[in-house]
Structure 1
Amino acid sequence: MSSPAGYSFFESVERSFDKAAVFTDWDPGILEQIKQCNSVYQMRFPIKRENGDIVTIEAYRVQHSHHKTPCKGGIRFSLAVNQDEVMALAALMTYKCAIVNVPFGGAKGGIKINPRGYTPYELEKITRRYTAELIKKNFIGPGTDVPAPDYGTGEREMAWILDTYVAMHPGEIDAAGCVTGKPVTQGGVRGRKEATGLGVFYGLSEVCNMPSVMAKLDLPIGVKGKRVCVQGLGNVGYHTALFFQQAGAIIVGLAEYEGSIWNNDGLDVNKVLTHRTKTGSILDFPGSQNFTKNTEALEMECDILIPAALENVINGENAARIKAKIIGEAANGPLTPEADEILNLKGILVVPDMYLNAGGVTVSYFEWLKNLSHVRYGRLEKRFTENMNHHILGQLEELTGKTVTSLERDFIMHGADEIDLVRSGLEETMITATREIVDIWQKTPAIPDMRTAAYVCAINKVATSYAELGIFP
């Protein structure tokens, strides 16, 4: 995929890398090694469709970095898939994992199809054959390369991948760790579906709670009352909008491929989704203003703009018209380098994708650990915690002569379930990463923006791993 300026997505990632590398002290040879993709697997295989036609499928798997293993990255089904895009997304995965301290190298996969154009049976054949091709070249395994869902894929496809891998590796005790994003019944973890959107919310919330950052933007501290516009109502965009709405933000704009809607008094995300299910479109939602061009809502006045769809939606052509004060990149690569420069000059804070949408890989890491440990989170301590809390509460009530309300009693006595622990771990991860990046940014005034600071953070961590391995004495 090329940007409006004529260079590829991977070249855009390299440009951002080079921009940040000058703020590090690493040897140019190490920096060059970090930039390059370690392994690129391009494949073609035939499948027979239900109508008898035989079609050739184009697919990819890229392992960007082996500084940590296994490699980690999603598999997308899209007609836009090409080698350059998969390479770029694999590189971003390396940097993303480094920033949020998830011990994986970056990888990515893609199959060049429109999943809506195939039956479930055909999609299963494609997925299983793709998995078999990965197995042939040792491009999948719990200690080698662990795929996950991405654009156009979900739990169903991950279950097919797992079943194919298990069938070809009988007796491998850790086989469930060969893929993440699985159904809970197949070794998945609770909280994975909403993880990316929740991570976006946690990351932006932490930014909004930083007095120094909010003062520069002339915004009050906190999420409550912030005016938010979200582009894309897929899994990531929907959950991001929902968590902001639940935290007291006002969702003033929503955009999808059929158009966009706006309401200064706020939109109820679930009601908009219900309206879309009934009518096939978000347009004409009661009380809202329609924009027939789906990018028009991006140019309206708001506090936080969250592109959660595809790449390059904000570019050199429309960046000057953006009026938001904060842009949170929930999608991969929604801004071009030209847009970055324009927005930086306008004083707009861009919170970069390379860590902001790391919620998915963070919770995938938790799922992988669960698969390797063979025990559900919370199983060992939930009842112990509840019994201990019950005892402590009983002692306090006896000593004080007072009784707490039933609502408070339930809250105090609650032992953590799997989803509680997963969300707690995700919140800690996103808050820590945000603080690390902002700290680097503030300590080096020459660093122009938060994206460059995030790359500096990633480069330092990856390069340190290489150095500690003794590869570069």
Structure 2
Amino acid sequence: MHAPLLSLTWTDHVTGRQGHLVVDRLVRGVSSGGLRMRAGCTLEEVTGLARGMTMKEALHYDADSDSGAPPARYVPLGGAKGGIDCDPRDPEAYGVLVRYLRAMRPYIENIWTTGEDLGLSQDIIDRAAAEAGLVSTVQAVHPLLTDEAEARKRLADAFAVEVGGIGLDELVGGCGVAESVLTALDRAGTDHVGTRVSVQGLGTMGGATARFLSRAGLKVVAVADIKGTIANPDGLDVEALLAARDAYGTVDRTALRSGDRELPGDAWLAADAEVLVPAAVSYAIDSANQSRITARWIVEAANMPVLPEAERLLAARGITVLPDVVVNSATNAWWWWTLFGDIGADAEESFAHTRRSMRALTGRMLARAEADGTTPRTAAHAIVAERLPVIAERFGWYR
């Protein structure tokens, strides 16, 4: 892979905490990638995430859209990522966020579009961005829009939509993860109903994934949050757990039913389930703890949760990893489908478009892996390797 276009580390003059920005690539002069905040966030981590965003953008580009089907209004951007080394629960965290955004203002105004990621909600980022003097965290893309005012209203309207008490912007990512799971089950001839799932993390991505999978008939038997793992072999009441969680995805234990058990934090790994969904931190599955996993599929709802050596060991045991660059890519794509006008500010239209796109993308990846005799991740990377030169030829690296 190429070296990133831009890589920088910022030090907060008030607290001494550090933040990072990596722009992996520009397409049409713009890059896309969220901003995360967690204690221990490193430049290496952000670099890997930025490269992943380049791949996600490329995977959602239909190179043949201009020959046959009506062309999509959204065409890909480059990949980027921001990260701040700070616990988001720290009393100083919000001030650090505002100062980071103020320092990154020239990049956000011109080349980097960003939004919520691990540890930060869009509401908090928007509030901090306004305090930092920004018009929007996606203002760098505004010059590419046909009608900026209409596009911004459409996105704002979409963010105002709620379904079952959860914002549409939170749900689309989980809808995409769930569709990846269902596509894999269908290709394997496995019934949806009764297939057991264990989820690490009940925040934005994990919570929405649990909702869509349970509504598809799968049985969520374990979920993990910062306090530990909640398990029930007969299936958890997902909606009750979602209603009892705080802004960080931590579940109020008074909401548990008599059959629900509280287990150690890492018990989700060894849950008796066919599908394992790491939906929280990066590097959650390593070469040591992978031996505890008995699931048939690991579905990366989080970014980079499975380390490379662990994935090699899992593959040798016949366990398939569905990679993050495909599985969790719907959130980013939904922003752009909405902003550019490929879909409106409507939940059912958003879910239908997400399901259709993610089923096609996951199916293409799995078919490529089967044809080439490789892993799904290798297949996804091969698809990216074919598409990036086409994107560079059509849109340039920088312009």
1:72 paired residue number: 32
Asked which structure has the greater CA Rg, the reply is: 1
State the one-letter code of the partner of 1:317: A
Q: Does the C-alpha gap of structure 1 residues 199 and 276 become closer, same or farther in structure 2, counting only changes over 3 Å? A: closer
Check conservation: 2:199, 2:276, Cα contact below 8 A.
Answer: yes
1:262 paired residue number: 231
Q: Does the C-alpha gap of structure 1 residues 363 and 161 become closer, same or farther in structure 2, counting only changes over 3 Å? A: farther
Check conservation: 2:303, 2:324, Cα contact below 8 A.
Answer: yes
Q: Distance in 2 between matches of 1:79 and 1:235?
A: 19
**SS of match in other structure, 1:429:** helix
| 1:105-139 CA distance string (max 9 Å, x none) | 110011222221126xx72x444433332233xx1
State the one-letter code of the partner of 2:202: L
**SS of match in other structure, 2:126:** helix
Q: Does the C-alpha gap of structure 1 residues 160 and 177 become closer, same or farther in structure 2, counting only changes over 3 Å? A: farther
| 1:257-290 CA distance string (max 9 Å, x none) | 2221322211111223456669844896520233
Could you state the TM-score of these two structures normalised by the residue count of structure 2? 0.82
Q: Percent identity?
A: 26
Alignment of 1:366-381 (within 5 A): 366-370=337-341, 378=344
Q: Distance in 1 between matches of 2:302 and 2:22?
A: 19
State the one-letter code of the partner of 1:201: A
Q: Distance in 2 between matches of 1:427 and 1:237?
A: 17
Q: Distance in 1 between matches of 2:254 and 2:201?
A: 11
**SS of match in other structure, 2:101:** helix
Q: Distance in 1 between matches of 2:362 and 2:4?
A: 26
**SS of match in other structure, 2:220:** strand
Q: Distance in 2 between matches of 1:55 and 1:470?
A: 40
Give unmatched runs, 5+ long, in structure 1.
1-31, 47-53, 215-219, 379-416
Q: CA deviation at 1:89?
A: 0.6
2:54 paired residue number: 94
Check conservation: 1:61, 1:109, Cα contact below 8 A.
Answer: yes
Q: CA deviation at 1:45?
A: 3.5
Q: Are positions 1:452 and 2:378 aligned together?
A: yes
Q: Distance in 1 between matches of 2:251 and 2:7?
A: 43
1:147 paired residue number: 114
Q: Are positions 1:195 and 2:169 aligned together?
A: no
2:368 paired residue number: 440
State the one-letter code of the partner of 2:259: G
Q: Does the C-alpha gap of structure 1 residues 182 and 57 become closer, same or farther in structure 2, counting only changes over 3 Å? A: farther
Check conservation: 2:297, 2:321, Cα contact below 8 A.
Answer: yes
Check conservation: 2:118, 2:280, Cα contact below 8 A.
Answer: no
State the one-letter code of the partner of 2:76: P
| 1:148-192 CA distance string (max 9 Å, x none) | 111121122332365322399x9x9769979x9999658747421
Q: Distance in 1 between matches of 2:243 and 2:335?
A: 29
| 1:211-247 CA distance string (max 9 Å, x none) | xxx1xxxxx4342221111111111111101111111
| 1:410-453 CA distance string (max 9 Å, x none) | xxxxxxx62222222211221121122122212222x2x11111
Check conservation: 2:240, 2:255, Cα contact below 8 A.
Answer: no
Q: Are positions 1:465 and 2:391 aligned together?
A: yes
Q: Are positions 1:130 and 2:100 aligned together?
A: yes
Give unmatched runs, 5+ long, in structure 2.
62-74, 162-167
Check conservation: 1:69, 1:145, Cα contact below 8 A.
Answer: no
Q: Distance in 2 between matches of 1:112 and 1:279?
A: 25
Q: CA deviation at 1:100?
A: 2.1
Q: Does the C-alpha gap of structure 1 residues 427 and 150 become closer, same or farther in structure 2, counting only changes over 3 Å? A: same
1:426 to 342, 351, 354: 354
Check conservation: 1:260, 1:282, Cα contact below 8 A.
Answer: no
1:85 to 25, 45, 48: 45
Q: Distance in 1 between matches of 2:281 and 2:243?
A: 23
1:362 paired residue number: 333
1:227 paired residue number: 196
State the one-letter code of the partner of 1:159: D
Q: Distance in 2 between matches of 1:68 and 1:204?
A: 33
1:208 paired residue number: 185
State the one-letter code of the partner of 2:176: G
Check conservation: 1:232, 1:238, Cα contact below 8 A.
Answer: yes
Q: CA deviation at 1:465?
A: 2.3
Check conservation: 1:77, 1:112, Cα contact below 8 A.
Answer: yes
